[in-house]
Amino acid sequence: MVTFHRATSLPLRKIFTMRFPTPVSIEWFAEFLGAELIGDRNGQATGINEIHKVEKGDLVFVDHPKYYDTCIQSAATFIIINKAVEVPTGKALLVVDQPFEAYLKIVRHFRPFEPATKMISDTALIGAGSYLYPGVFVGHHTTIGRNCVIYPNVTILDHCVIGDNVIIQAGTVIGSDAFYYNTKKDRAVWYKKMESCGRVVIEDDVEIGAGCTIDRGVSGDTVIGRGTKMDNMIHVGHDSVTGKNCLFAAQVGIAGAVEIGNGVILWGQVGVNKTLTIGDNAVVLAQSGVPGDLESGKVYFGTPADDASIKKRELVWIKRIPEIWEMCKRFGGQPEGSRAKRKE
């Protein structure tokens, strides 16, 4: 049992892009990838990202004509693509046969695999007053703030950031790889792993229960907002961002790239679909399924989740269907479909 005092002030920064150590010439990337360079040859790339997170200076890849225009018109400055197309002024294309493989080559170069040789990496920074129980694993280049309590058998993987006053209960995994695959049906391996080079950022005053899993971003950050409290056995998918002071009960499952506002409550076993938004102070009742965006300040229930008061009235009427059917038969008002079947 050891208390570490390696850092006294660990400010959090939200970075939604995997940044390069310094800006890199796009001509260097063309040579590195063996790509044809079209457009601005003087540009400097600052990071690599997915299409839904890109910022100016980012590299992004696209390998399907359906998404060419989306990528080219996005905030990304540099596009790895498998066909020469018209490119806007100030941007550049890197034309290669396999954009996905080119993306992986860049990730592996700038975020190479580093084997662990001890339970707590020498590159980890751990703030004053934080206590790590025996059996905690802390990966390379990870930061843990002040006055945290990390319980036994917690795993915090490389490049993650934990704020001040954070509690993480036993057996939780922070920074596991994204469940994210490039799918092609014309190759032997249909689902090819999209290597994760993003992070998990846990802000100040967060509590995370036992046996939770929070996946790192594919190329950006998965963020748990300040003051959020999570029960046991909760999963948060890659690149999802939760607001401040949320409350998640046991067995909640949140898919990738979900935006959750401040003060949101998800009760037990709620399932949230990918790439959607839940507004501030929304409440989703237990065992509900969320397939699309939810407005702020409402209470939701059911699958698909809807206004709870409406959904509960629907359930009352569903229970009355047998009674209504008997009334219809008694008064000769059988539905058309039923009469038609009898005639046959």
Q: Which residues are catalytic?
A: 238
Q: Are 94 and 57 in contact (CB under 8 A)?
A: no
Residue appearing with tokens 């980890």: 124
How many CB atoms sit inside 10 A of residue 217's CB? 31
Q: Are 166 and 143 in contact (CB under 8 A)?
A: no
List, in sequence order, every beta strand (DSSP E) within 125-179. 125-126, 130-132, 137-138, 143-144, 149-150, 155-156, 161-162, 167-168, 173-176
Q: Max Cα separation, the chain?
A: 85
Q: Are 220 and 15 in contact (CB under 8 A)?
A: yes
Q: What is the CA radius of gyration of the chain?
A: 25
Question: Would you call 49 helix, strand, or coil by DSSP?
Answer: coil
Give kind and range of the element (H or E) at residue 107. helix 99-110
Spatial separation of the C-alpha atoms in residues 320 and 314, rounded to whole Å: 10
Q: Helix axis angle, 99-110 relative to 26-33, nearest 10°? A: 110
For residue 307, what are the contacts with CB-CB under 8 A and spacing of at least 6? Answer: 298, 299, 300
